[in-house]
Chain A
């Protein structure tokens, strides 16, 4: 349980915007152990999304190392990175980001299809995950026929599809009403407690962050306790 899944050292991210540089992350260090539920808070524009994108291999750091399961993903080429995103990362977004032309089950299956899983196996697992997030019987529904809370549950199920090493949730409750917020964060806490999922969750909301076992703050490009 104490194994380190993620170890970030001296991470700096600089965006060049014409003459002016923006540096949301400066010499950032962070360690996450397997099975931890970490919440990261910080003011708007402090670099929370930037940090999650780098951990999730959607973006590259300007300097520093990002060891994910002991592999420095900062040095991997795109031809390797997509496999990390596929197999080790599960993303949950503020606005769900389900594909509108696929139904709930297909959205979950797509992640597994990309990983080369077979049809029957995909279907079984998608149905199991839907049941787990409380959406049994809704597998045929496309996103537009699901409530926002339900869409986020499907997104959570999709994030779990390939049994990732780490789940990255970027303000997963940001677009939800009060009740849904609670349900979603409880679902995440449950995943962490019952299944030992490693979760890093970014949020503005202290009440939501309170569900995590560890709370970090991002300020001036660094993690502060």
Chain B
């Protein structure tokens, strides 16, 4: 029957009280070991959100910037009353007349495009669409090529004698990839098909066109040296406005069209991404400060519970302390006895608390801490999919179990130090008179 037996018996003497105290302490300790991994888990979740956003924004920005830096220049539609009484959809321009476009500051490229509509008995058939297939244009400004190729391949730098047909046009000709088509007296090999509803340039509609090299388009439509649109590219979105103004000043007759919606979309994407990151950051800060407050509260509550219960115990057992001293217990023995009781109580609670922690870590973490609000991802994320709103899983590692045991021991010792010291100092004669 050593000091440990005495401590255990004293704890079990008041079963209801011990149970209540252990319940309170173990809950506090469960919270204590759950909070640190919760912070880590939330941090990881937040980091993933930020990483995903960054990657997504980068990808989108690459696409959007390409189009957003594009300025289209063309002459307005002319209503002509020639023999066919048809409007001239694409008035022609001499490329050399517009050589000044490339001299405007911050312009990186001026790419002439030729578009000529083809008719048969007052019926519109398709456009011949010429793109300069220079390597520097094709590689540097891929947005000038037809998009949404659904079969075969796209045009490539240096291509001659080949076309990409929009699906409707291919159907009109009755050809598919690999077939040959005669356009205005010249044979072309069909290398690719463009799907319906595709983007082309700044607009989204069905461009029913036969895409080929600019030179061949000029040749077959007898428009050598001419173009119907210039794609002017700016070195950055920020300079698009200024360049457009310069173009209007230098060539008042030109229609200048900006990819306004695309620019807005790009800017909007950026600001939404920024807002979202800010939101994530705010949540992280909240999580951190809440966790710090909660850890402090838990530690304080833990210490206070032990302090109060041990003070109460010491008071209640004053007479007993007198007896112990009367039969020869030293102050150290008394101090040790009460410290041990406090530590033991805390340790039992610690073990139960760790068990609770292991079982309910994730739901408890969800209750204890604010979490990332998922609304807003969906607006940003496109192809990457939607992030889940499942709370981050929290696992209790051996280190956390050690932390729990350590905290229980330390708080038990700290909380019972003062009560035990009071117990040791009790004067035996007065203690014997107590009650």
Question: Which A residues have a C-beta under 8 Å from some C-beta of B?
Answer: 53, 56, 58-59, 78-79, 82-83, 85-87, 89, 91, 93, 97, 99-102, 106, 109-111, 113-115, 158, 162
B102-110, B247-255, B318-326 - interface stretch: B318-326
CB contacts between A and B, total, < 8 Å: 67
**What separation, in Å, do the CA atoms of A83 and B332 have in the docked complex?**
12
Query: When each residue 202-239 of chain B gets 1 if its CB lies under 8 Å from chain A and 0 otherwise, what string results?
Result: 00000000000000000000000000000000000000
When distances are taken between beta carbons in the complex, the residues of chain A under 8 Å from B385 are: none
Cβ-based interface call for B86 (8 A): no
Also in contact, A91 and B1, with CB within 8 A (given A58-B428, A101-B10)? no
Contact between chains at B327 and A91 (CB < 8 Å): yes
Cβ-based interface call for B48 (8 A): no
**What separation, in Å, do the CA atoms of A83 and B10 have in the docked complex?**
25
Q: Tell which of A82, A100, A111, A162 touches B331, judged by Cβ atoms closer than 8 Å.
A: A82
When distances are taken between beta carbons in the complex, the residues of chain A under 8 Å from B328 are: 82-83, 85-87, 89, 111, 114-115, 162
Also in contact, A109 and B1, with CB within 8 A (given A56-B326, A85-B328, A97-B326)? yes
When distances are taken between beta carbons in the complex, the residues of chain B under 8 Å from A86 are: 327-329
Contact between chains at A58 and B1 (CB < 8 Å): no
Contact between chains at B1 and A85 (CB < 8 Å): no
Cβ-based interface call for B62 (8 A): no
When distances are taken between beta carbons in the complex, the residues of chain A under 8 Å from B10 are: 101
When distances are taken between beta carbons in the complex, the residues of chain A under 8 Å from B1 are: 102, 106, 109-110, 113
Contact between chains at A58 and B326 (CB < 8 Å): yes
When distances are taken between beta carbons in the complex, the residues of chain A under 8 Å from B323 are: 97, 99
When distances are taken between beta carbons in the complex, the residues of chain B under 8 Å from A111 are: 327-328
Contact between chains at B2 and A113 (CB < 8 Å): yes
The number of chain B residues with a CB under 8 A from chain A is 23
Contact between chains at A82 and B329 (CB < 8 Å): yes
When distances are taken between beta carbons in the complex, the residues of chain A under 8 Å from B9 are: 101-102
When distances are taken between beta carbons in the complex, the residues of chain A under 8 Å from B6 are: 101-102
Kindly list the 7 A-B residue pairs having the minimum CB-CB distance in the complex, ordered from nearest: A86-B328, A59-B429, A58-B428, A58-B429, A101-B9, A82-B330, A53-B429
Contact between chains at B432 and A58 (CB < 8 Å): yes
Tell me how far the C-beta of A63 lies from the nearest C-beta in chain B, rounded to whole angstroms: 17
Most chain B CB neighbours (cut-off 10 Å) among A97, A109, A158:
A97
Tell me how far the C-beta of A214 lies from the nearest C-beta in chain B, rounded to whole angstroms: 24
CB-contacts of B314-357 with A (<8 A):
319-320, 322-331, 333
Contact between chains at A85 and B325 (CB < 8 Å): yes
When distances are taken between beta carbons in the complex, the residues of chain A under 8 Å from B2 are: 113
CB-contacts of B393-435 with A (<8 A):
427-429, 432
Contact between chains at A85 and B327 (CB < 8 Å): yes
Whose C-beta in chain B lies nearest to the C-beta of A102? B1
Query: When each residue 237-262 of chain B gets 1 if its CB lies under 8 Å from chain A and 0 otherwise, what string results?
Result: 00000000000000000000000000
**What separation, in Å, do the CA atoms of A110 and B322 have in the docked complex?**
14
Whose C-beta in chain A lies nearest to the C-beta of B9? A101
Cβ-based interface call for B15 (8 A): no
Cβ-based interface call for B13 (8 A): yes
**What separation, in Å, do the CA atoms of A82 and B326 have in the docked complex?**
8
**What separation, in Å, do the CA atoms of A37 and B230 have in the docked complex?**
129
When distances are taken between beta carbons in the complex, the residues of chain B under 8 Å from A87 are: 328
Whose C-beta in chain A lies nearest to the C-beta of B430? A59
**What separation, in Å, do the CA atoms of A141 and B324 have in the docked complex?**
20
When distances are taken between beta carbons in the complex, the residues of chain B under 8 Å from A79 are: 330-331
Contact between chains at B13 and A85 (CB < 8 Å): no
When distances are taken between beta carbons in the complex, the residues of chain A under 8 Å from B325 are: 58, 82, 85
Chosen A-B contacts, 15 in total, with CB atoms closer than 8 Å, are: A58-B322, A58-B326, A79-B330, A79-B331, A82-B329, A85-B328, A89-B328, A93-B432, A99-B324, A106-B1, A109-B1, A111-B327, A113-B1, A114-B327, A114-B328
Tell me how far the C-beta of A202 lies from the nearest C-beta in chain B, rounded to whole angstroms: 14
When distances are taken between beta carbons in the complex, the residues of chain B under 8 Å from A102 are: 1, 6, 9
**What separation, in Å, do the CA atoms of A197 and B325 have in the docked complex?**
22
| Interface contacts beyond A109-B1, A114-B330, A158-B327: sample of 13 additional A-B pairs, CB < 8 Å, sorted by A | A58-B428, A82-B328, A85-B327, A86-B328, A91-B326, A97-B319, A99-B323, A101-B9, A102-B1, A102-B6, A106-B1, A110-B1, A111-B328
Whose C-beta in chain B lies nearest to the C-beta of A86? B328
When distances are taken between beta carbons in the complex, the residues of chain A under 8 Å from B13 are: 100-101
Tell me how far the C-beta of B40 lies from the nearest C-beta in chain A, rounded to whole angstroms: 45
CB-contacts of B6-25 with A (<8 A):
6, 9-10, 13
Whose C-beta in chain B lies nearest to the C-beta of A54? B429
Q: Tell which of B322, B333, B429, B432 touches A114, judged by Cβ atoms closer than 8 Å.
A: B333
Contact between chains at A78 and B331 (CB < 8 Å): yes
Tell me how far the C-beta of A32 lies from the nearest C-beta in chain B, rounded to whole angstroms: 19
When distances are taken between beta carbons in the complex, the residues of chain A under 8 Å from B320 are: 99
When distances are taken between beta carbons in the complex, the residues of chain A under 8 Å from B319 are: 97
Contact between chains at B329 and A114 (CB < 8 Å): yes
Tell me how far the C-beta of A91 lies from the nearest C-beta in chain B, rounded to whole angstroms: 5
Whose C-beta in chain A lies nearest to the C-beta of B326? A91
When distances are taken between beta carbons in the complex, the residues of chain A under 8 Å from B329 are: 82, 86, 114
Whose C-beta in chain B lies nearest to the C-beta of A93? B432
**What separation, in Å, do the CA atoms of A83 and B9 have in the docked complex?**
26
Whose C-beta in chain A lies nearest to the C-beta of B323? A97
**What separation, in Å, do the CA atoms of A86 and B331 have in the docked complex?**
13
**What separation, in Å, do the CA atoms of A17 and B324 have in the docked complex?**
27
**What separation, in Å, do the CA atoms of A127 and B1 have in the docked complex?**
15
Whose C-beta in chain B lies nearest to the C-beta of A57? B428
When distances are taken between beta carbons in the complex, the residues of chain B under 8 Å from A89 are: 328
Contact between chains at A85 and B333 (CB < 8 Å): no
Tell me how far the C-beta of A124 lies from the nearest C-beta in chain B, rounded to whole angstroms: 15
Most chain B CB neighbours (cut-off 10 Å) among A82, A114, A115:
A82
